[in-house]
Amino acid sequence: MYRKKGFTLLELLVVIAVVGILATIIIPTLRDAQTRAQNASIVATMANINALVDAEKYPNSLENLCFEFEPGGPLADVRTSVEEKGGIWHCDSTVDSYRIFAKLNLEVVSAMRDEIESSFAKLTKSVAAQTDSQEHDFGNYYCVNSEFNNNFTHWSGENLLYPSCNDVDYTGVIQDPVENPDPTPDPNPESDPEPPIEDGGPACDGGKTEICHFGKTLCVGNTKGHLKHGDTEGPC
């Protein structure tokens, strides 16, 4: 009489091992795609701020603009949208200028990681392609200001001369021109980019490489995003 043969222990162990390997590939890829999509939403929201600020409403002073984004304010949904996607909101405004920047999800933008070029990974990249942050992997922040500059920056606005949104204006002196609403509490303050070597930043070690970024020497773990956007390898 024919007896149906079941799986052997070895076959089951092989299946479990294969499933485990696939999980280690697929789950991080899905998480990465989700985080990139969140960054895309943050960038899209921030890029629209200039259009939302009605100049006629502030003919004499922009000093109280940041309070418009606080709970109960007419622009509160903007800050809420950024924070719900994981962005760290910070706003400064004076009589004649403003600057708003958001710290993006660092799991994606702190460095370009080598991705497994499987068909599944290529599929998830279609989600990531919606955001410029995929193309600006050297930028941890997105910044907008009253001069209509919308830029990805390596450093937060606190390290850029007010109201600049350009890394060329890096300064080691914290920029906080006026008392404004508190920024979003940052759960990862230790992950902010290091200052350049010229301003007391650490020397490169642990496999990091020196690159020249807007006239400042940085140590980065991956040069791909930097070299792609005009930085050069080596000290400035």
Model-level pTM? 0.71
The pLDDT assigned to 121 comes to 42
Residue type, 218: L
Q: Mind listing the pLDDT tens digit for each residue in 184-213?
A: 877 766 566 788 888 888 888 877 888 888
3-state secondary structure of 201: coil
Collect the ranges in the chain with pLDDT lower than 50.
108-136
The pLDDT assigned to 22 comes to 76
The pLDDT assigned to 102 comes to 94
Domain extent listing, the chain: 11-187, 194-236
Render the burial of 108-139: b for 16+ CB within 10 Å, e for the rest.
Answer: bbbbbeeeeeeeebeebbebbeebbbbebbbb
Q: Mind listing the pLDDT tens digit for each residue in 156-184?
A: 888 999 999 999 999 888 887 777 788 88
Residue keyed to tokens 């109201």: 163
The pLDDT assigned to 56 comes to 72
